[in-house]
Amino acid sequence: AQSVTQLGSHVSVSEGALVLLRCNYSSSVPPYLFWYVQYPNQGLQLLLKYTTGATLVKGINGFEAEFKKSETSFHLTKPSAHMSDAAEYFCAVSEIASDWMGKYIFGTGTRLKVLA
Amino acid sequence: DGGITQSPKYLFRKEGQNVTLSCEQNLNHDAMYWYRQDPGQGLRLIYYSQIVNDFQKGDIAEGYSVSREKKESFPLTVTSAQKNPTAFYLCASSNGRVAKNIQYFGAGTRLSVL
């Protein structure tokens, strides 16, 4: 069965510093991978996704992620943090080896705090 | 604008009461989902529906029920059998049974017990 691990439930960075949020997955086949962002008391918004092709994926708000098959990782990065990036971030894997291929498996989330 | 509308935003349940959370989408998506979100646990799938008049249990279906009588609507009932209903509930939809399809989310309903 597929699973997703997000290392660090809370991450703090200074404004202008690099943001690195970690996501590792387990899967017997290359999965489809997603990063979502959630602001307080709101739904989830897609940041970026990896399906096939280029392993470095660019998303909205200056975020990007790199799919590394050998490391089973899909870490999210942003070169320079902004105060508006403070939110909770979820990594998700699409369950492609099941009877219903539209199901997601979510990580437990990482709450990003940006310090002034 | 196309999207997913969840209502109400806040809901309170009394002991022994059933409550229903509404989810409507105008994206013409076939698939719809209900998730429960608790602090530190991420999102857990309650029910999902691939098509009208069909739905399947997710990982934590006990104490919940759903219906899918119309393509655009997927209401969730939290029954009195759900002993710990306090959580943030999120509805999502996607365009069919394709693994790489994006799920789009509503703004959520926060349910509390009185």
- B110: distance to nearest CA of chain A, Å? 8
What is the share, in percent, of chain A residues with pLDDT greater than 70? Answer: 91
For residue B100, pLDDT beyond 80? no
pLDDT in tens, B40-95: 888 999 999 988 999 999 999 999 999 999 999 999 999 999 989 999 999 999 98
> A77 vs chain B: nearest CA distance in angstroms?
20
Tell me the average pLDDT of chain A. 90
**pLDDT beyond 70 at A72:** yes
The pLDDT of residue B99 is 59
pLDDT for residue A31: 79
* A107 interface with B at CB cutoff 8 Å: yes
Determine whether A101 is exposed, middle or buried from the number of CB atoms within 10 Å of its CB (0-12, 13-18, 19+): middle
A-chain residue closest to B40, CA distance: A108
Q: Do B98 and A104 touch (CB under 8 A)?
A: no
For residue A97, pLDDT beyond 60 = no
Q: In chain A, which residue's Cα lies nearest the Cα of B55?
A: A100
pLDDT band at A41 (very low <50, low <70, confident <90, very high): confident
Q: Are B32 and B105 in contact (CB under 8 A)?
A: no
Instruction: Determine how many CB atoms are found less than 10 A away from the CB of residue A107.
Output: 26
Confidence of residue A12 (pLDDT cuts 50, 70, 90): very high
Q: Read off the pLDDT of residues B30-44 as tens digits, 9 standing for 90 and up.
A: 999 999 999 888 899
A13: pLDDT strictly greater than 80: yes
Q: 3-state SS string over chain B?
A: CCCEEEECCEEEECCCCCEEEEEEECCCCCEEEEEEEECCCEEEEEEEEEECCEEEECCCCCCEEECCCECCECCEEECCCCCCCCEEEEEEEECCCCCCCCCEECCCEEEEEC
Percentage of chain A surpassing pLDDT 90? 72
Is residue B6 scored above 70 in pLDDT? Answer: yes
Find the residue in A nearest to B5 (Cα).
A43
Q: Which pLDDT belongs to residue B96? A: 67
Q: Does A32 touch chain B (CB under 8 A)?
A: yes
Q: What is the pLDDT of residue A2?
A: 76
